[in-house]
Amino acid sequence: MSYDQARWSEDDQYEPLLSEKCTREVDVDAPLPDDLTRDSLELPAPSEPELARHYTRLSQMNYGVESGPFPLGSCTMKYNPKFTEDLAALPSASVHPDRHPGTVQGTLALMGRLSAYLAEIGGMDAVTLQPPAGAAGEYTGVLIARAYHEHNGEDRSEIVVPDSAHGTNFASAALAGFDVVELPSGEDGRVDPEALDAALSEDTAALMLTNPNTLGLFERDIEQIAEMVHEAGGLLYYDGANLNALLGRARPGDMGFDIMHYNVHKTFATPHGGGGPGAGPVGVVSDLEPFLPTPQVRETDDGSGQQGEPGSKYELHEPEHSIGKVHGFQGNWLVLVKAMAYIARLGDEGLTDASAKAVLNANYLAEGIDYEIPFGPFHHEFVASAGDQDAAAVAKRMLDYGVHPPTTKWPEIVDEALMTEPTEVENRRTLDQLAAAFDAVAAEDEETLDDAPQRTTARYIDQVTAAREPRLSWQALGEEGEE
Amino acid sequence: MGGHNTGSPYAPHTPEETAAMLDAVGADREADLFDIPESVRFDGEFNIPARDERTVRREVRELLDRNDQLVEFLGRGHYDHYVPSAVDHLADRQEFLTSYTQYQPEIAQGFLQALFEYQSMLVELTGLDIANCSLYDAATALGETATLAARVRESSGSHVLVPEHLQAGKRGVLENYASGVDLTVDTYPMDDGAADIGALEDAMAEDVVLVYAESPTVRGVVEESLAEIGALADGHDALFCLGSDPVALSILKEPAAVGADVVIGDAATLGLPAAYGMGLGMFATRESFLRQVPGRLVGASEDASGRRAYTLTLQTREQHIRRERATSNICTNQAWVALRAAIHAAWLGPGGLVDLASDCVSRAETLAAELDEIAGIQAPVHDRHHFREFVASTDQPAAAIAADLREEGFAVHAVDDHLLQVCVTETTANATDDLVDTLEVVA
């Protein structure tokens, strides 16, 4: 398989900036005193046909899940079902957050139902939908841990994070004011109970864990880990980034986790949008429910209907010891609509099958590639080693074969890591093509890799120079000649 | 659909294919691929029945139809402007919608360029040097600004000053972010809906690292003393953060010209209709804080063919590299909403933006004058210029009036015992006569 990405270009650039095509400066004559207003405004002024062509060309110079395989490890780049977009676009979904709860019963009912679904899937007792992304979910969870310990009169200043964890875990803990204690991985790539024992103390507020971890390995000692953390007085936090491995097979709540976040843009197929928006709902065990962000949706006590059924009534309330707000309103509502529709479409059977096929696909793909995979048994993703090759260069070369490359150089526990997650949406034929792309690149020499990519819109982009001389706007481009 | 009939409709495996693949990996059944100890295996049910697409569509539609259809004269930080069809159709192209963060820039030039254009528009609107390519919303952008202020402070200061009138969610998020860097949030009083400069000056005696002001304020007041606030902040070595939005900034004096060090706000006033509070965190600042900026930045570079090309840049600020020393924990952002805002802004062009913003001033003024004619209502309460919205005082309890209005199909804010707040944009302008008629009866 090969691929030639669209390449619109003019002279020394690709599609020109709108500002280079059709800028207009207008005088500002607003119904305000002159000293409060600007004099003029200069921005692009394309006609709608020009605008449509510009963005259509830009889209053609971009690669999405429907363009081809997207086995980006840790990112769960699933197909995003079309019908969920139509639901999020319903006029009845377009409501203001300050509406009286009695007039947005549909929105609250949907949130109530999604929360109930997520609680079931994670084995949790209560869920907040407010965090607008996975990292925001982590931050919310860490704030809950902080509030819980403070409520109990305990001063616990440390969060333990395995060295193989997502960078967000470290950053989220720090954002909440915690010191981060890094936990070295054991030789088998999992948590080493001895190292954990050394890391835990009376200062431990929580251990943040991804399971299966970023190598795709299930933490077999999870019950012992949970016991150790709880024994030390800490809480156990589940990073939901890899939940697509476990749907219907195991639940964080059953493993002893107290807090978890869900990445609905990974596990529940809402589109990644070129970087966002996502949503990072957080589930907790009942002891932590009073600490959830405000407001929470709940069914009213009048008992006029079964939960989630027509006739039931929902209201908003502030949990007793709420950590307050993690988003100005109630998070990324439109994303939540899509997630709810996806879960309803799949149901028990579909969710369980999604994970089964995600794990089968990862194993099947791994079987077909030449690169060594040092750690296993893995689940929905594996981390191969590019060995003597530079993993970043391997990735660039894979682009020429019409596939999006894996995540590279991480986790660092594997040399020249190629972190690969095909998800359940690929069929055998595509996986065979993907394996062929891996193997073709594995057999190529350094020069070929260094010259890659050839067939994408842009050739290799020098990121070092971009960082040394930052030009972050079209205004900055204009300054080039003046230096 | 396809050759299978059970399981996920988006997993394409036929039973034969599954069997062959299991054979290839040496497993008898899918369950054997899971390395999960027996004791933590889940054998139960979620009790979520699978439904076909048509059924889910009907269910969700029926659920959402339980939302009452009200004409929303609501604002206070979340605004409904008309979003042209071109935004939906172009932003929904799968190459944009389903793509990932641009860590492989060679294959993601389109989105990178769109984000670069978005950043550039914010640079023009704010007059500042740099803008990032999105945070979650205005509230988290304000929170991030507090942590930035803590990192760059030159004093031992530990206080953030915010206006007395502030959207509750923004205050709440700020409190959380500030607590992580041991900052305390205090308020300064308002005088007739705008900053009380004398009181602010007194409050500055504290060790303040950040002063926050808004224009328009949460009550829709155009703040007239921004330059004084900027000077006060500067005189005390504190940062000045201004909250606004791209529509308002189309006509208001450039924040850089009044001394703003950071501009935050909800940029989803362009690109998204009312979305139950989903937003787009705008963040622009001075070049001197470049390496302290939270979130992703797109920069221009060159590719191996010598052509200008775009890439994420200065990533050493970010969590995936710097971990607990990153400038923020943000990873997933609101890129697709930024794309929508950029398309919307270009669709309007500078002339359209200025007209839209001017209408925000005149519509609020006109509606306030009409409400003021009603016995039992005085509007606007604040003798100021307004943008989109204003508060009105009522002789009857505001909550009761708001409840009566709901019965008649209108939503307004009741912000205090005898204060209503009303917001009007082009999406509700056709209903203001009905609102006025109804208020004449219920107020």
Q: Does A25 touch chain B (CB under 8 A)?
A: yes
Could you say which of 3.40.50.150, 2.60.40.730, 3.40.50.620, 3.90.1150.10 is the CATH number of the domain covering A356-457?
3.90.1150.10
Q: Are residues B93 and B184 in the same domain?
A: yes
**Helix-helix angle B335-372:B109-126, to 10 degrees:** 40
What's the CA gap between A395 and B359, in Å, rounded?
51
Q: Are residues B300 and B240 in the same domain?
A: yes
- pLDDT above 50 (res B60): yes
- pLDDT above 80 (res A301): no
What's the CA gap between B267 and B289, in Å, rounded?
21
DSSP state of B254: P
- pLDDT above 70 (res A48): yes
Q: Are residues B334 and B366 in the same domain?
A: no
| A-proximal residues of B, 20-49, CB under 8 Å | 20-22, 24-25, 27, 30-31, 33-37, 39-42, 45-49
Summarised one tens digit per residue, pLDDT across range B21-58 is: 999 999 999 999 999 999 999 999 999 999 999 999 99
Query: How many domains, chain B?
Result: 3
Domain-terminating residue out of B342, B369, B399? B342
Q: Are residues B361 and B334 in the same domain?
A: no
Looking up tokens 């002001």 gives B213
Interface probe for B, chosen from A17, A48, A94, A313 (most Cβ of B below 10 Å), is A94
> What is the model's pLDDT at position B303?
96
Q: Are residues B155 and B167 in the same domain?
A: yes
What's the CA gap between A230 and A148, in Å, rounded?
14
Domain residue limits at B366: 71-82+349-442
Alpha carbon of A19: minimum distance to chain B alpha carbons (Å)? 8
- Domain CATH for B361: 3.90.1150.10
Does A428 sit within 8 Å of B17, measured CB to CB? Answer: yes
Q: What is the CA radius of gyration of chain B?
A: 25
Does A353 sit within 8 Å of B109, measured CB to CB? Answer: no
What's the CA gap between B241 and A194, in Å, rounded?
48
Burial (CB count within 10 angstroms: exposed 0-12, middle 13-18, buried 19+), residue A90: middle
Residue A303: CB partners within 8 Å, gap ≥ 6?
Answer: none
Q: Are residues B290 and B192 in the same domain?
A: yes
B15 by DSSP, 3-state: which? helix
B60, part of any domain: no
B102, closest residue in chain A (CA to CA): A274
- pLDDT above 70 (res B152): yes
- pLDDT above 60 (res B3): no
Q: What number is the average pLDDT over the span A407-420?
A: 96
What's the CA gap between A109 and A113, in Å, rounded?
6
Looking from the CA of A77 toward its CB, the CA atoms found within 13 Å total 31
Report the percentage of chain B scoring pLDDT > 70: 99
- pLDDT above 50 (res A483): no
> What is the model's pLDDT at position A312?
67
B188 by DSSP, 3-state: which? strand
Does A134 sit within 8 Å of B332, measured CB to CB? Answer: yes
Q: What number is the average pLDDT over the span A261-280?
A: 98
Strands B159-163, A23-27: parallel, antiparallel or unpaired by DSSP?
A: unpaired
Q: Are residues B23 and B167 in the same domain?
A: no
Residue B21: CB partners within 8 Å, gap ≥ 6?
Answer: A360, A361, A364, A428, B13
What's the CA gap between B443 and B436, in Å, rounded?
10
Res. B1 pLDDT band, cuts 50 70 90: very low
Summarised one tens digit per residue, pLDDT across range A211-256 is: 999 999 999 999 999 999 999 999 999 999 999 999 999 999 999 9
What's the CA gap between B136 and A234, in Å, rounded?
30
Mean pLDDT of all residues belonging to chain B: 96
B65, part of any domain: no
Domain-terminating residue out of B342, B375, B393? B342
Summarised one tens digit per residue, pLDDT across range B362-386 is: 999 999 999 999 999 999 999 999 9
- Peptide bond just before A411 cis, omega within 30 deg: yes
Starting at the edge strand that comes first in sequence, how are the strands of the sheet with A9-10 ordered?
Answer: A9-10, A13-14, B308-313, B297-302
Alpha carbon of B26: minimum distance to chain A alpha carbons (Å)? 10
Interface probe for B, chosen from A56, A190, A300, A360 (most Cβ of B below 10 Å), is A360
What's the CA gap between A129 and A279, in Å, rounded?
8
Does A121 sit within 8 Å of B117, measured CB to CB? Answer: no
Q: Are residues B22 and B157 in the same domain?
A: no
A41, closest residue in chain B (CA to CA): B350
What's the CA gap between A466 and B298, in Å, rounded?
9
- pLDDT above 90 (res A462): no
- Domain CATH for B233: 3.40.640.10
Q: How many CB atoms are located within 10 Å of the residue A408 CB?
A: 22
B246, part of any domain: yes
Summarised one tens digit per residue, pLDDT across range A11-27 is: 899 999 999 999 999 99
- pLDDT above 50 (res B225): yes
What's the CA gap between A111 and A103, in Å, rounded?
14
Q: Where are the domains of chain A?
A: 9-61+468-482, 82-344, 356-457
Summarised one tens digit per residue, pLDDT across range B236-265 is: 999 999 999 999 999 999 999 999 999 999
Q: Are residues B143 and B37 in the same domain?
A: no
> What is the model's pLDDT at position A309?
53
- Nearest CA to A95 out of B78, B146, B329 is that of B78
Report the percentage of chain A scoring pLDDT > 70: 97
> What is the model's pLDDT at position A177?
97
B208 by DSSP, 3-state: which? strand
Alpha carbon of B196: minimum distance to chain A alpha carbons (Å)? 17
What's the CA gap between A361 and B18, in Å, rounded?
9
CA distances from A373 to A361, A384, A438, A450 (A): 15, 4, 13, 24
B56 by DSSP, 3-state: which? helix
The pTM (predicted TM-score) of the whole model is 0.97
- pLDDT above 50 (res B296): yes
| Lookup: tokens for A156 | 């616990």
Res. A303 pLDDT band, cuts 50 70 90: low
- Nearest CA to B262 out of B124, B149, B156 is that of B149
SS (HEC) of chain A: CCCCCCCCEECCEECCCHHHHHEEEEECCCCCCHHHECCEEEEECCCHHHHHHHHHHHHHCCCCCCCCCCCECCCCCCCCCHHHHHHHCCHHHCCCCCCCHHHEHHHHHHHHHHHHHHHHHHCCCEEECCCCCHHHHHHHHHHHHHHHHHHCCCCCCEEEEECCCCHHHHHHHHHCCCEEEEECECCCCCECHHHHHHHCCCCEEEEEEECCCCCCECCCCHHHHHHHHHHCCCEEEEEHHHHHHCCCCECHHHHCCCEEECCHHHHCCCCCCCCCCCCCCEEECHHHHHHCCCCEEEECCCCCCCCCCCCCCEEEECCCCCCCCCCCCCCCHHHHHHHHHHHHHHHHHHHHHHHHHHHHHHHHHHHHCCCECCCCCECCCEEEECCCCCHHHHHHHHHCCCCCCCEECCCCCCCCEEEECCCCCCCHHHHHHHHHHHHHHHCCCHHHHHCCCCCCCCCCECHHHHHHCCCCCHHHHHCHHHC
> What is the model's pLDDT at position B2?
44
DSSP state of B31: G
In contact, B277 and A327? CB cutoff 8 Å: yes
Q: Does A144 touch chain B (CB under 8 A)?
A: no
Q: What number is the average pLDDT over the span B164-171?
A: 98
CA–CA–CA angle A467, A468, A474 (5° rounding): 65
Q: Does B98 touch chain A (CB under 8 A)?
A: yes
Contact list in B for residue A404 (CB cut-off 8 A) is: 100, 104, 107
B2, part of any domain: no
CA distances from B369 to B390, B392, B424 (A): 11, 10, 13
| DSSP secondary structure, B68-105, as one string | ---EE---TT-------HHHHHHHTSHHHHTPPPSSSG
Res. B12 pLDDT band, cuts 50 70 90: very high
What's the CA gap between B177 and A326, in Å, rounded?
9
What's the CA gap between A45 and A394, in Å, rounded?
41
User: Among B170, B304, B324, whose Cβ lies nearest the Cβ of A174?
Assistant: B324
B182, part of any domain: yes
> What is the model's pLDDT at position B157?
87
Q: Does B88 touch chain A (CB under 8 A)?
A: yes
* Torsion of Cα atoms, A363 then A368 then A372 then A378, to 10°: 0
| B-proximal residues of A, 49-88, CB under 8 Å | 51-52, 54-67, 70, 72, 75, 77-81, 83, 85-87
A465/A339: higher pLDDT: A339
CA distances from B320 to A275, B159, B210 (A): 14, 30, 28
Which CATH topology does A82-344 take?
Aspartate Aminotransferase; domain 2 (3.40.640)
What ipTM was assigned to the predicted interfaces of this complex? Answer: 0.98
What's the CA gap between B275 and B78, in Å, rounded?
8
- pLDDT above 90 (res A144): yes
Mean pLDDT of all residues belonging to chain A: 95
Phi, psi of A80, rounded to the nearest 5 degrees? -105, 110
Strands A382-385, A314-317: parallel, antiparallel or unpaired by DSSP?
A: unpaired
In contact, A243 and A74? CB cutoff 8 Å: no
Q: What is the CA radius of gyration of chain A?
A: 25
